[in-house]
A and B are shown apart, each in its own frame.
Chain A
């Protein structure tokens, strides 16, 4: 049996957790898959897991806000009681955090951000390194295996399980489990389109030349209904805030169209934009690595090309 920690929001399971269930079912290899959930709204989201091959959902009754160690205690205690071969979670911020705590509590090894896993002793896993620029094949040892699943590596595959049983339980917490707990939520939303969710992103790199140079990218992004992003070189230079950074240590984006301008395409940057459906690179260097990872390219000076595209787009729109 394989136990999966499932995250949820607004009464529905998270997409990344449903992707994790795809790997969990494969790892279970015909054995049952159970789920564990916590937090307000878990009971409402639980029945939907029947469509994804989950026969039993365990809902942890925990008061208060998110407390990583308390949630992990619930997962670890349940795992100790029902004895799964593996505990799986999404490779999300919380999934990785909770399974790392649970690994310590259960004395297990944890393989984070797996893209494939085969059961056995040891189990075989393939996991992401360097934000996805490299894959590691590894052996995962121990009676209990813990693994998280790299975001967007697997599809959410429906697998109806028939009737889903929902069982609640109250984990026995230790005082130290509640020391780290969300005590306050600060709303910082601007109401605008976020970089992570924008359908079109126009990004600038060192090749844009200056902070002022981003004005032309803002203009093009505005016309296309997109937002502006940037490379790490740009945030390090202080031209744009870190919240605009696309990359391994910035925001991971998955727009329909990504337009990197004056960005060479280092692995650090590509780790942030490999989810883009199409990439149109604008770069002075025809040999820049970005061209080997883009669908389309325009070669030349960003400062000439971007304003020309904006002008042409305006002209075509006015003519039609």
Chain B
């Protein structure tokens, strides 16, 4: 069972987002980086599938040279090898992203690494275009199940569970397939120190894809005003309890 999981390097935004002067990106000079929680679960699931069923695991990303940091993080979790499509760090639209990933997966297949299961996060943490996984599935002629919170491999098929208010919808599709996953699929492990050291020696193949003209073309980013006010402080410590209960009364919930 060969599993390929796609991830994206994104900043850890903290409490307040600050934009670059050209308003086309987040100011990241003082920020750390990670991958989306959905993708962390995808990485964990890929490793678990390989542990249970054998086979190899590959991580694929499209992003700046620095995204190798995130690839190494996933290699430390237990992914076998990485493929890095290196960009100049500019914003890629979903169609160009999907096209570059498809070309990379086709190259993987030609090199004998045909993935039985391709995993994505349901949507990226930053751009949230909700379509890259589906576009890739169509280009490869494979079925795609989205928003998955439960995966079971059986008899050349994958059983996927999707959470829906008060229930779970089940899809059972033949492999090879594409699945987009949500956080809650599993509880990802933390890498051990020896695993981090081993990850440094694992192979990362890189290439530079070309981007086509975007049809969803970024003009500028803005930070929405939010609530635009600082909280009214009712008090400090346990002594504030009567003021809180007064507020409950005022709001009609006491």
- Least CB separation from A224: chain B residue: B253
B187 partner residues in chain A, CB cutoff 8 A: 235-236, 238, 242
Q: Is B131 in the interface zone, CB < 8 Å from A?
A: yes
B27 to chain A, nearest CB (A): 12
B221 adjacent to chain A (CB < 8 Å)? yes
Nearest CB of chain B from residue A34's CB, rounded to whole Å: 23
Do B166 and A297 touch across chains, with their CB atoms under 8 A apart? Answer: no
With beta carbons under 8 angstroms apart, the residue of A267, A309, A312 that contacts B13 is A267
Residues of the B chain whose Cβ atoms lie less than 8 Å from the Cβ of A180 = 143-145, 171, 173
Q: Smallest CB-CB separation from A93: which chain B residue?
A: B147
For window 177-208 of chain A, which residues contact chain B by CB distance below 8 Å?
A: 179-189, 194, 196, 199-200
| A56 within 8 A of partner (CB) | no
Give the interface SS of chain B, mostly helix, strand, loop or mixed. mixed
Q: Chain A interface: which of B69-77, B111-119, B198-206, B241-249? A: B241-249
Q: Give min CB distance, A101 to chain B, whole Å.
A: 6
Given A186-B167, A265-B15, are A97 and B220 also a contact pair (CB < 8 Å)?
no
What number of A residues sit within 8 Å (CB to CB) of B? Answer: 99
Binary interface profile of B, 221-254, with partner A (CB < 8 Å = 1, else 0)? 1111011011111111111111111011101011
- Contact, CB under 8 Å: A109 / B215: yes
Q: Is B61 an interface residue (CB 8 A)?
A: no
**Chain A positions within 8 Å of B222 at CB level:** 134-135, 137
Contact of B128 among A112, A182, A289 (CB under 8 A): A112
Assess whether A19 is interfacial by the CB under 8 Å rule.
no
In the complex, whether A152 has a CB less than 8 A from a CB of chain B is: no
Given the contacts A268-B13, A309-B244, A183 and B172 also touching, CB distance less than 8 Å: yes
Is A68 located at the chain interface by the 8 A CB criterion?
yes
Known: A93-B147, A138-B217. A188 touches B166 (CB 8 A): yes
Within 8 A of B (CB), among A91-113: 91, 93, 96-97, 100-101, 103-104, 109-113
**Is A4's beta carbon under 8 Å from chain B?**
no
**A238-B187, A243-B184, A250-B183 known; A316-B254 Cβ under 8 A:** yes
Q: In the complex, are the beta carbons of B167 and A316 less than 8 A apart?
A: no
B181-220 to A contact mask, C-beta < 8 Å, 1/0: 0111001000000000000000000000000001111111
Taking Cβ atoms with an 8 Å cutoff, the residues of B that contact A are 13-17, 26, 36-38, 93-95, 123, 125-131, 134-135, 138, 141, 143-147, 161-163, 165-174, 182-184, 187, 214-224, 226-227, 229-245, 247-249, 251, 253-254
A-B contact pairs, 23 of them (CB 8 A): A68-B144, A96-B130, A129-B126, A129-B127, A130-B13, A135-B223, A137-B221, A140-B215, A182-B169, A183-B170, A185-B169, A232-B37, A245-B183, A266-B14, A268-B13, A280-B234, A292-B226, A292-B231, A298-B235, A298-B236, A305-B238, A308-B239, A312-B245
- Ranked 7 nearest A-B pairs via Cβ: A289-B15, A242-B184, A189-B166, A109-B215, A308-B238, A297-B231, A100-B131
